[in-house]
Amino acid sequence: MDNRNLISCIVFLGLSAFVAVSSIGLGIGHLTNPRAGFMPFWTSLLIIVFSLILFSQTFVNRSAQAGRVDIWSHVQWQKSLLAAAALCVYVFILPVIGYLPATGILMLALFKLGSMKILPAVLASLLAVILSYGLFSFILNTPLPRGTLWF
């Protein structure tokens, strides 16, 4: 049985159940006067139906499938996880310390993640941050976050 499909079904069922209940709170209305909850309610019901079909398909085909699929083997998933974690930290520190330092730290982390030596990584980060700041702030007139810590 493909364990990926089972996990997907559980996630879809959970999310659609939440949407369906919230939609009832919004008010579904009637066919003559559909209200704000009308579309999310029926869409979430369809998701439940199709999740159950996927579940039953997976269950019926359990002997034909290769079985448990390990999506984390033969890959360096730790690198992707670290990159995602670095980005999450970035979102929180960006408004506080501003674009230049926050992006500099992020770029350094990402270059180091690619096994770059420290000096080239620092230089590459500085270059990337300064050039992107120049392009977006001065040429495209995009106000990049300046950071609440300094102002």
Are 28 and 7 in contact by the 8 Å Cβ rule? The answer is no
Chain-centre distance of CA 148, in angstroms?
26
- Using the rule CB under 8 A, is 79 a contact of another protein? yes
At residue 48's C-alpha, the angle toward residues 47 and 54, to 5°, is 85
Among positions 33-52, residues that touch another protein (CB under 8 A) are 33-40, 43-44, 46-47, 50-51
23/47 Cα distance (integer angstroms): 14
Tokens of 26: 């919004």
140/96 Cα distance (integer angstroms): 23
- Using the rule CB under 8 A, is 137 a contact of another protein? no
Work out how close the CB of 125 gets to another protein at its nearest, in angstroms, rounded to a whole number: 8
Query: Considering beta carbons, is residue 30 or 63 the nearer one to another protein?
Result: 30
- With residue 88 as reference, give the H or E element that holds it: helix 77-97
Supply φ then ψ for residue 75, to 5 degrees: -135, 155
Work out how close the CB of 7 gets to another protein at its nearest, in angstroms, rounded to a whole number: 7
- Using the rule CB under 8 A, is 59 a contact of another protein? no
- Using the rule CB under 8 A, is 32 a contact of another protein? yes
Chain residues that interact with another protein, rule: CB under 8 A: 4-5, 7-8, 12, 15-16, 19, 22, 26, 30-40, 43-44, 46-47, 50-51, 53-54, 57, 71, 74-77, 79-80, 83-84, 87-88, 90-91, 94-95, 103, 106-107, 110-111, 113-116, 124, 128, 132, 136, 140-145
